[in-house]
Structure 1
């Protein structure tokens, strides 16, 4: 297949008019200029690497807790309309017994690769190993300290399924972090009340990822700086950022970008099963939540409970918020940084000869027109 007449966004530049040749699911040629070869004419639209969401609970009526093989497949089919080609499905805090039950259901889906449309890498356990002081929309009675014994129970279902675990570093002595790294699971600090000064030892040990910066963590203070301050300080810590315009104020997004730059941020949604559904009342684990527009909150307290925005919405907010943001800088935050963090950058995450043809086509308003997964069109917007 030839995809031609597009603005191709590469790691270091934008080809203002160019074309891409795809064979056997991979990119085999990238050229500037025009071609008379038959193919898909994108008529000057943007061609970006497919978005990678490493922290999405669900959407379209599906999440980790209420999923089965068919429902996970439904989510996989729908997420591509957001321009997402690769994702990690997140959980909320559950009991050990339920975590094992849900993980088994998830495994059934993961074993059916042919049923996947958007590519799911595995599970992101956000809880139960988090701080009661920063629990957010997680059930207090189910929280527990991170232990190797609990990790081993998850690994027994399938050692390849768990890709990321969010936990409060201060609740363990370092052994849990070591075990995650040994099992090639990304350790992510989040829902934590740790102080900046105490995070240093955990950073040295290997925590280089923060779960939804600012949300669910000790913050920035002139006398008692916490995890958010540490995330901004360490250049090698990649910070997830929910750029829906609700979870993080746009002025704070500007500050974050000024400090971290495009190589220190990965855009996420933190979306829950209510995403893509009408406003109303839903469940997040055992908790009652309400969706109003793209805002999702605990019905009894108003606490934010995940999100209702799509990935492409968050991309548009970022582009609107950061003036003069270059497109080849944007793709670091949507694809490149997290692909490197998850160890998949040799296969996907940028438009490069030899990599999978995971692409998203955006119009001038940065809305998704088409999504390619492994070289095949998996979403195509209806013509207006």
Structure 2
């Protein structure tokens, strides 16, 4: 496969007019100039590394818990429309019995069916180990403190495919953080009511990831600085940002970008099953929600409940708010999280011998094509 007449965004520069050669799922060549060889003519569009979403529950009518036995494949196929080539699929707070059922089904998918569409890298467990004070759209009666035994069972049921856990760090003494790190699972502090100083315990143990900064956490306060303050003060901590323009005000997006810089931000969607569907009533776990345009909120309280925006929308929003150069933008969409997940040697940037995970965007950053490990997964 040849992708030609492309504006190629590399880690350190932009090739204004060039072409890529893909062979055996990998990038075999990146060249400046034109070629007369047959290929996909992208007519001057942007060519970027494929997007990686480390926090997405679902969309298009399915999620981790909702849908039939083919729900994970359904999501993988559809999410390629957004330019996503790799992702972690997130669960919400469930009963222990249901969690065991869902993680066993997920483990089967990962072992035998993860063959179509964008490639799932594993699960991101968001809840039940979170603070009742910062529960967001999680069922409060199911919340418990971080538990190693329960987590180990889910690791086993998922065939070792649990890759990230969101939990409130103040609800454990550090032993849970250490357990996750020892098992090569990314510890992500979130849905937390901690004071900033309490984060130091987990930071010193190696925690370097924050779940959806500013959403469902203690904030920036002059007398009780919380998790958001700690996340901003530690420049080597990677923060997830839901940059849909709904979860975080544009002025706050600017503050995050100016303070953290593009090296320490990863764009996420936190999208739920109603993404890509008409407005109306849906469910997030056991909770009823209402979707209106890209906003999804609990029917009973109006609290935001996941999201309805696509990854490419969030990319456009953040880029437009902060006028982010393309070589910096790809850090926030692909490079940073690939490094965090330990997969940067194989994907996350357009580099020789890496997997051909590629998104083609038009001048307005709309997705024109998604190429997943050398195969076209979506074409507009």
> After TM superposition, is the score higher than 0.5?
yes
Q: Which residue of 2 aligns with 1:56?
A: 56
Offset, 1:113:
4.0
Q: Which residue of 2 aligns with 1:275?
A: 275
Tell me the TM-score normalized by structure 2.
Answer: 0.99
Q: Which residue of 2 aligns with 1:336?
A: 335
Moved more, 67-76 or 179-188: 67-76
Query: Which consecutive unaligned segments of at least 5 residues does structure 1 have?
Result: none
Is the 1:21–1:30 Cα contact (8 Å) retained in structure 2?
yes
Offset, 1:177:
0.6
Is the 1:195–1:226 Cα contact (8 Å) retained in structure 2?
yes
Offset, 1:112:
2.5
CA distance in 2, matches of 1:191, 1:25: 38
Offset, 1:300:
0.8
User: Aligned runs of 1:35-74 on 2, under 5 Å?
Assistant: 35-74=35-74
Regions of 4+ moved over 6 Å: none
What CA deviation, in whole Å up to 9, does each residue of 1:89-127 have, x standing for no partner?
A: 001101111110011111222122454210001110000
In structure 1, the residue corresponding to 2:239 is in which secondary structure?
strand
CA distance in 1, matches of 2:110, 2:179: 23
In structure 2, the residue corresponding to 1:154 is in which secondary structure?
helix
Q: Which residue of 2 aligns with 1:248?
A: 248
User: Aligned runs of 1:2-21 on 2, under 5 Å?
Assistant: 2-21=2-21
CA distance in 1, matches of 2:212, 2:368: 28
User: Aligned runs of 1:77-92 on 2, under 5 Å?
Assistant: 77-92=77-92
Q: Which residue of 2 aligns with 1:265?
A: 265
CA distance in 1, matches of 2:148, 2:159: 14
In structure 2, the residue corresponding to 1:111 is in which secondary structure?
helix
Q: Which residue of 2 aligns with 1:181?
A: 181
Query: Which consecutive unaligned segments of at least 5 residues does structure 2 have?
Result: none
In structure 1, the residue corresponding to 2:244 is in which secondary structure?
coil
Q: Which residue of 2 aligns with 1:220?
A: 220
Offset, 1:69:
3.7
Flag the 1:67–1:111 CA change in 2: closer, same or farther, 3 A. farther
CA distance in 2, matches of 1:25, 1:154: 32
CA distance in 1, matches of 2:4, 2:237: 37
CA distance in 2, matches of 1:68, 1:348: 30
Moved more, 192-201 or 295-304: 192-201
Is the 1:69–1:106 Cα contact (8 Å) retained in structure 2?
no
Is the 1:67–1:106 Cα contact (8 Å) retained in structure 2?
no
Is the 2:22–2:356 Cα contact (8 Å) retained in structure 1?
yes
CA distance in 1, matches of 2:106, 2:125: 12
Offset, 1:154:
1.1
Offset, 1:137:
0.5
Offset, 1:159:
4.7
Moved more, 110-119 or 53-62: 110-119
**What's the C-alpha RMSD, in Å, of the aligned pairs?**
0.9
Q: Which residue of 2 aligns with 1:326?
A: 325
Tell me the TM-score normalized by structure 1.
Answer: 0.98
CA distance in 2, matches of 1:378, 1:201: 43
User: Aligned runs of 1:80-229 on 2, under 5 Å?
Assistant: 80-113=80-113, 115-229=115-229
Is the 1:68–1:106 Cα contact (8 Å) retained in structure 2?
no
Offset, 1:156:
2.4
Q: Which residue of 1 aligns with 2:355?
A: 356
Moved more, 100-109 or 121-130: 100-109
Offset, 1:68:
4.2
In structure 1, the residue corresponding to 2:332 is in which secondary structure?
helix
What CA deviation, in whole Å up to 9, does each residue of 1:130-165 have, x standing for no partner?
A: 000000100000000002111122122135210100
Q: Does 1:377 align with 2:376?
A: yes
In structure 1, the residue corresponding to 2:129 is in which secondary structure?
coil
CA distance in 2, matches of 1:44, 1:202: 46
What CA deviation, in whole Å up to 9, does each residue of 1:242-285 have, x standing for no partner?
A: 00000000000000000000001000000000000000000000
Flag the 1:104–1:159 CA change in 2: closer, same or farther, 3 A. closer
